[in-house]
Amino acid sequence: MFKSVLAGLWFLVAVLVVQGSASAQLAAVTGGNTSDKSVVEDIGNLSENEIRDLMSRLSDNEVRAILIKQLETAAGRSQSDTAGKAASFEFWRETVMGIASNIHIAIRNIPLSASVLYQGFSNFFAKHTTEGLLWFAGLIVVALGAGLIAEFLVNKITIKWHNKISVVQAEASLKEVGKLLGLRLFLELLGLFVFFLVCDTILELFMPDEFTSATELLITNFVVFPRLVAALGRFLMSPKRPDLRIVHTDDTTARFMQKSQIRLTLLLGATYWLAHFLLENNVEVLELRLIFWPVLAFYIGLIYITYKARQGLTLMMAGKPEGTPPQKIGLIARAYPGFLIVIVVLAWLLVEALVYHQAWDLLAGQVEATLIIMALAPAFDTGIRGLVKHLVKPKTGQGEIAEQAFQSAKNCYFRIGRVIVFGLAVLLIARIWHIDFSQLAAAGVGARAAAALFQFLLVAAFGYLVWEIVTLWINRKLAEELTAAGVEQNNEEPGGGEGGGAGASRLSTVLPLIRLCLQSAIIVITLLIALGEVGIEITPLLAGAGIIGLAVGFGAQKLVADVVSGIFFLVDDAFRAGEYLEIDGTFGTVEKISLRSLQLRHHKGPVHTIPYGEIPKITNFSRDWVIVKLRFTVPFDTDLNKVKKLFKKIGAEMMEVPEFAEDFLQPFKSQGVLEVNDVGIVVRGKFMAKPGTQFVLRKEVYARVQKAFEENGLQFARKEVRVKIDGDPDSLTEEDKQQVAAAASEAADDAENPDGTAKPSPA
């Protein structure tokens, strides 16, 4: 970041200096005190109007000189560009032919390999006496033995620390496992350091000078490096201790990777030792390409290991246990083994190209270090997951929304960590290869393009981080608001199946709109800055966007009216997400709010989309509180005081039930007689509740009232038709009974309205 700011300041200073110089030169030209040569040099810095003014002041010879100079400059640039392209093509063609030549020479010299190796060892034995060789071999054995004894003593001294590693708690966290693994790695490195120190000291004191270099390289490449790689492999994969394994993989893959790493390290160490040994013994290794085959075997081994352990590497990268279905593994994890194989192939081609061009300064371990960084990607992912577990705040609340917010926060932190680690890996690889991005712009066209691409990616990565941070904060805040309001996404029937559910908070209503606006702004700003970094002029884009916005404003006045109306509705807090509304005869729960419209979900399923500009008024059934009034019709001879006491008792009992008490704002109670009709006496009860809970409470009240009436001998009034019969009913004939039944049926039909409701009976 500091380098970027410093580069920006230098750029600003340079622009100011160039502008000042151009202004001074322009003043000199217009004053007539400048020669033709200075005019020719300054013509490229003038604007169109200034050029016209200048031409009117110059003579024909001066104009001719300027034109010739400009044509010569353009021709020189064209020739330079053509030469640069030709040189670039020639370089790549020569590199490809050089790699092919390396392969051809290596194949051609296969029959000579055995004789060359024999010559190298013969030269070695010829330069030394038998006593010297015996002293050489014996001293190596003594040094190794002394080193092992010293390491054994160190392990004895630190035995209590080793015992700590053997005991691991069943529910140990990643942090605790990391401490134990770090302790084991430290003890192994401590023993290895003591081993190497003792060996090196003995060899320095007693080994003759002519054997020192080869001996140290022999100990380092065949003993120290393989043991170091083994210690790091045990730290990452713990092939014999699954309880300490921090990467997600099975035992077979862990053991295979551990053994394969040691074998490749031995092969690579043997290759470098053999090259050094043959060069010291007057054998031309480079011309015969003898090291070609061990190096090729090393890279083929890498490809074989990656291919055979591809499933384990995928699980490591995904952080999933064995047996995870493929559809639950991300694209990056699935593509990682193939990506690593491609990188290995490119690395081998790069090594061969560097060997052909004899760029020995770039063959000092840079390729191997790059491959190690690429191969450690699963370990980096595991480390990121471990940090995420400690960085993510605990889950707030219960329910699906809280769980989704928690998982979203974890994924967001993980993606941010991946971007940061990827950026650090790129910078580390650039440092290994001595690449300075700040100096690329001063090189050729390809280098400038690489620098522009790097700046574009840097700006895009920064914009992505801002996007993730903003989204993380808004999603977490939104989940907290929805969880606090008790909103559940998978509620089978919002509002008890009849609408009118409780609404969300005002902040949770506007947060989705804020998130959309911020994300759009981040995308636009990041894109404009990135395009500016690669040299694209963004001023015309801004002007074009302004013109398009103005045209949209004039051509879509209805859209503007909808957006403005929506802003004022939100400012007035007229509705919130989850509230039950009535808009011009349309009922429904607010399901979604956008910039120009809202969606109402009717409690029977249909969704109504209503633009803000078409809303004449809003009736909100879910704000603050709701009063429910219930009607009961009882016979004329009912004891109304008894009914009133029963209602009061039911209200008191429901207030003592924790399930209902929190939803009541006022208990259920009687409101006395509402009216008297031809059926009976209509009494009414009411209660006040929180929005969205009234329907469940109403059902419970109905059930308790019915039960209380049965227990106390009360009844609800029923519609009935009375027929008056003159005389003794027992003396009626069968024909008279049929006439009475017909009259009763007719009276019943007359007592009902066409809609089925009872008519008032005549006086």
The answer to whether the beta carbons of residues 169 and 176 sit under 8 Å apart is yes
Task: Write down the pLDDT at residue 484.
Answer: 61
**pLDDT tens string 229-260:** 899 888 888 888 887 877 777 888 888 988 99
Rounded CA-CA distance 124/128 in Å is 7
**pLDDT tens string 659-671:** 888 888 888 888 8
**pLDDT tens string 156-186:** 999 888 888 877 665 667 677 778 888 889 9
Lowest-pLDDT choice from 422-426, 435-439, 598-602: 435-439
Task: Write down the pLDDT at residue 341.
Answer: 92
Mean pLDDT over 266-272 rounds to 88
Rounded CA-CA distance 201/220 in Å is 14
Task: Write down the pLDDT at residue 58.
Answer: 63
583, β-bridge pairs: 586
Asked whether residue 18 carries a pLDDT value surpassing 60, the answer given is no
Q: To which H or E segment does residue 481 belong?
A: helix 445-484
With a CB cutoff of 8 Å and minimum separation 6, the contacts of 763 are none
pLDDT classification of 569: cutoffs 50, 70, 90: confident
* Closest CA relative to residue 219, chosen from 152, 142, 321: 142
How far CA 729 is from CA of 615, 617, 733, 738, 739, in Å, comes to: 67, 64, 9, 13, 13
Q: How open is the CA angle 58-60-62, to the nearest 5 degrees? A: 60
**pLDDT tens string 396-422:** 656 566 666 667 777 777 788 878 888
Mean pLDDT over 578-583 rounds to 82
Residue given tokens 């078409």 in the structure block: 614
Handedness of CA 76, 78, 84, 89 (dihedral sign): negative
Q: To the nearest 10°, the Cα dihedral for 245, 250, 252, 253?
A: -80
Tokens of 9: 């300041």
Concatenated DSSP letters of 361-399: GG-SSHHHHHHHHHHTHHHHHHHHHHHHHHHSPPPPSSS
Task: Write down the pLDDT at residue 730.
Answer: 59
**pLDDT tens string 283-302:** 776 666 778 888 899 899 99
With a CB cutoff of 8 Å and minimum separation 6, the contacts of 125 are 133
Long-range pairs, 55-59, Cβ under 8 A, ≥24: 57/30, 57/32
The answer to whether the beta carbons of residues 98 and 356 sit under 8 Å apart is yes
Q: Rounded to an integer, what is the distance from CA 703 to the centroid of its chain? A: 52
**pLDDT tens string 681-718:** 888 998 888 887 778 888 888 898 988 888 888 888 87
pLDDT classification of 146: cutoffs 50, 70, 90: very high
The answer to whether the beta carbons of residues 54 and 62 sit under 8 Å apart is no
Asked whether residue 16 carries a pLDDT value surpassing 60, the answer given is no
Lowest-pLDDT choice from 102-111, 143-152, 385-394: 385-394
Q: To which H or E segment does residue 664 belong?
A: strand 664-676
How far CA 623 is from CA of 480, 499, 506, 580, 619, in Å, comes to: 20, 13, 11, 9, 10
Which strands sit side by side in the sheet containing 626-634, from one edge to the other? 626-634, 681-689, 664-676
Domain 626-711: which CATH class?
alpha beta
3-state secondary structure of 48: helix
Task: Write down the pLDDT at residue 194.
Answer: 94
**pLDDT tens string 439-482:** 554 444 455 565 666 677 778 888 888 888 888 888 777 777 66
3-state secondary structure of 329: coil
Asked whether residue 536 carries a pLDDT value surpassing 50, the answer given is yes
Asked whether residue 148 carries a pLDDT value surpassing 90, the answer given is yes
Q: How open is the CA angle 705-706-711, to the nearest 5 degrees? A: 95
pLDDT classification of 149: cutoffs 50, 70, 90: very high
- Describe the chain by its helix, strand, coil percentages, rounded to 5: 70, 5, 20
3-state secondary structure of 21: helix
pLDDT, greater one: 204 or 71? 204
Residue given tokens 């009232």 in the structure block: 705
Asked whether residue 6 carries a pLDDT value surpassing 60, the answer given is no
Radius of gyration of the chain (CA): 44
pLDDT classification of 21: cutoffs 50, 70, 90: very low
Task: Write down the pLDDT at residue 60.
Answer: 63
Task: Write down the pLDDT at residue 205.
Answer: 86
With a CB cutoff of 8 Å and minimum separation 6, the contacts of 642 are 712, 714
User: 491-620, what's its fold?
Assistant: SH3 type barrels. (2.30.30)
**pLDDT tens string 545-562:** 666 666 666 656 677 777
Task: Write down the pLDDT at residue 304.
Answer: 93
Task: Write down the pLDDT at residue 517.
Answer: 84
% the chain with pLDDT above 90: 7
Task: Write down the pLDDT at residue 442.
Answer: 47
Mean pLDDT over 1-28 rounds to 33
